[in-house]
Amino acid sequence: MPIDLLLRHADLADGTGSPLRRADLAVEGDRITAIEAPGAIDPGRAALVIDAEGRLVTPGFIDPHTHYDGQATWDDRLAPSCEHGVSTVVMGNCGVGFAPVRASDRAVLIDLMEGVEDIPGSALHDGIRWAWEGFPEYLDALDRMPRSLDVAAQLPHGALRTFALGAGADPNAPASAEQIRTMAALAREAAEAGAIAFSSNRIALHTSTSGEAVPGTFAETREIAAILHGLREGGCSLFQVVPAGLMGEDPDGFRREVELYRTLSLETGCTIVFTIAQNNVQPGLWREIFARADAANAEGARLVPMTINRPGGLLLSWDTFHPFSDRKSYVEVADRPLAERVALLRDPSRRARIVSEPIETPMFEHAHRIITSSLGSTYLPTTPSLAEPDPAASLAARQRKTNATADEVVYDALCDAAEAMGGSGFLHVYMGNYAEGSLDVVHEMISRPGTLVGGGDGGAHVTVICDASYPTYMLEHWVRERTRGPRIPIETAIRKLTRDPAELYGFCDRGIIEVGRRADLNVIDRERIGLEAPRIEHDLPSGAPRLLQGAHGFEATIVAGAVTSREGRDTGARPGRLARR
């Protein structure tokens, strides 16, 4: 009997955490139909044969924390995720998204997404193909568009609350009993249509470009509980949330958040996924939060901490984001080509003016504070072992040698970075998971049972981060390259990227390699797998810039049985659809 695709002599990392095993793997349509001993399947039966001798074959990776909610309506590839072996992305995180929505509130939700997730409003205005009001209609619109990978959507609190409270209402005022009943009914409707979770945002600093906190930030327990009950009535029981105090600005607030999640989980029976990282302000707080979550789980709650597997932070450059953007003497030269601009910025008199001029906008004031207080975890692109650099190579060490001010050190480093790596270098500011100058804390976090790996924010913060590349980072750094501490076994690493998120989000047809499962697969050269340098592309609908980061070593990515990329090159296949709960 003919088969569509045969992977021969593969080293299978099947996603379960079991030891690698050699096998041939047959695919018919979108399903795995046979896993046999090497050589047992006749290659003459296959329409396409991929020789996987010496290659790692894994399930497709599942990214549980992205923000492609708008991009997914116009972009059929979803870079950067598609460049890193990802076959399924979860959108609608952090309480922001675009459904449900009345036509009169579309601009409000764009303003919110731009402010919270740093996606240019111009790109969203130009790119989103509005074809819905209710959340079920949004899912249907997503389902109609073929793409290179599958998307799954969560119901966002910000959009839900804006819709339920109606025009002219204070989006963060306490909700009435009737408004809460409306939100619960809409949550049930969304779950019945295929929403895979409800999401919310509790960080007061996360605001729209108009300065409005995400609707739901200050929601009362009764409101959230009612929504979760509605969700459960619709057949869904997962709540994703970004907690107050995450960045260390309010440790007591973070402690109260975990108690809230315990209460909600015990009352509603829902699993609650919350973001956590080691921050630079309270570097030991994460251990206490994990301990509180463990104690809640021992009582019967189900709290799941999620953290990124790499230092989280910012990429700074003169061409994207930097803390001098609104200084008068910088604005005078901002439109010059980079090489010419850097030459002008090297002029001592202009340098002196820029570093002494006042900051004009609150956003840059906040960014300036973060960046200048993070010199101990900021590195040039030429720093050795940049995946886990030695603090002796940080800008703080440079400052100690030069006695320069923090502004002067960052300014000079931006100029150095601009001239490095063929003119495409970025300063790396590690604001999370690197307060102690190593990734030992991250190893401890992601090695704990129950910790979810995620938080790459694919599609968001498009001019300052590109952490959606974290699956490649996992294989390059944690599995193969790390020298400053223990590595992660390859079987564990693959399980963290596949089965664990699949089980949590209810993707019962994927996440492991097994006969009858979807043929979402990667063929990987373990010796070559690695990250490429970040790059700037002006490919958003408005022509606005964004950061992308590619990878090498993915010999093939297969989604629903179709090869979507070979050696990093798009094949044009678009088998991806909406993954409903």
DSSP secondary structure of 521-578:
EEEE-TTT-EEPPPEEE--STT---EEE--EE-EEEEEETTEEEEETTEE-----B-B
Q: What are phi and psi of 27, to 5 degrees?
A: -125, 135
User: What count of other Cβ atoms lies within 10 Å of the Cβ of residue 179?
Assistant: 18
How confident is the prediction along the chain (581 residues), in pLDDT tens digits per residue? Answer: 789 999 999 999 999 999 999 999 999 999 999 999 999 999 999 999 999 999 999 999 999 999 999 999 999 999 999 999 999 999 999 999 999 999 999 999 999 999 999 999 999 999 999 999 999 999 999 999 999 999 999 999 999 999 999 988 899 999 999 999 999 999 999 999 999 999 999 998 888 888 889 999 999 999 999 999 999 999 999 999 999 988 777 889 999 999 999 999 999 999 999 999 998 888 999 999 999 999 999 999 999 999 999 998 899 999 999 999 999 999 999 999 999 999 999 999 999 999 999 987 777 787 888 888 889 999 999 999 999 999 999 999 999 999 899 999 999 999 999 999 888 899 999 988 999 999 999 999 999 999 999 999 999 999 999 999 999 999 999 999 999 999 999 999 999 999 999 999 999 999 999 999 999 999 999 999 999 999 999 999 999 999 999 999 999 999 999 999 999 999 999 999 999 98
Q: Which of 105, 103, 97, 3 is nearest to 47 (CA)?
A: 3
On whether the CB atoms of residues 136 and 103 are closer than 8 A, the answer is no
Report DSSP state, residue 133. Answer: S
On whether the CB atoms of residues 58 and 13 are closer than 8 A, the answer is yes
| Separation CA 335–CA 553 (nearest Å) | 37
- DSSP of 409-431: HHHHHHHHHHHSGGGT--EEEEE
Provide the 3-class DSSP secondary structure of residue 24.
Answer: strand
On whether the CB atoms of residues 8 and 506 are closer than 8 A, the answer is no
On whether the CB atoms of residues 13 and 56 are closer than 8 A, the answer is yes
Query: Which CATH topology does 1-63+475-504+519-536+551-573 take?
Result: Urease, subunit C; domain 1 (2.30.40)
Note the pTM of the prediction, 2 decimals: 0.96
pLDDT at site 251? 87
Query: What dihedral angle (degrees, nearest 10) is formed by the CA atoms of 384, 387, 390, 396?
Result: 100
CA distances to 249, 301, 346, 419 from 323, rounded to whole Å, are 21, 42, 17, 18
pLDDT at site 301? 98
| Separation CA 529–CA 474 (nearest Å) | 10
Contact partners, residue 37, CB within 8 Å, separation at least 6: 22, 23, 24
Q: Is the dihedral of CA 105, 111, 117, 119 positive or negative?
A: positive
Task: Spell out the SS3 assignment of 372-403.
Answer: HCCHHHEECCCCCCCCCCCHHHCHHHHHHHHC
User: What count of other Cβ atoms lies within 10 Å of the Cβ of residue 393?
Assistant: 16
| Separation CA 498–CA 510 (nearest Å) | 8
Residues of the chain with CATH 2.30.40.10: 1-63+475-504+519-536+551-573
On whether the CB atoms of residues 492 and 9 are closer than 8 A, the answer is no
β-pairing, 554-559 vs 551-552, is unpaired
On whether the CB atoms of residues 109 and 80 are closer than 8 A, the answer is no
- DSSP of 61-130: EEES-B--TTGGGT-SS-TTGGGGTEEEEEE-GGG--S-S--GGGHHHHHHHHHHHH---HHHHHHH---
Q: Which of 227, 118, 294, 106 is nearest to 286 (CA)?
A: 294
pLDDT at site 168? 82
Provide the 3-class DSSP secondary structure of residue 452.
Answer: strand
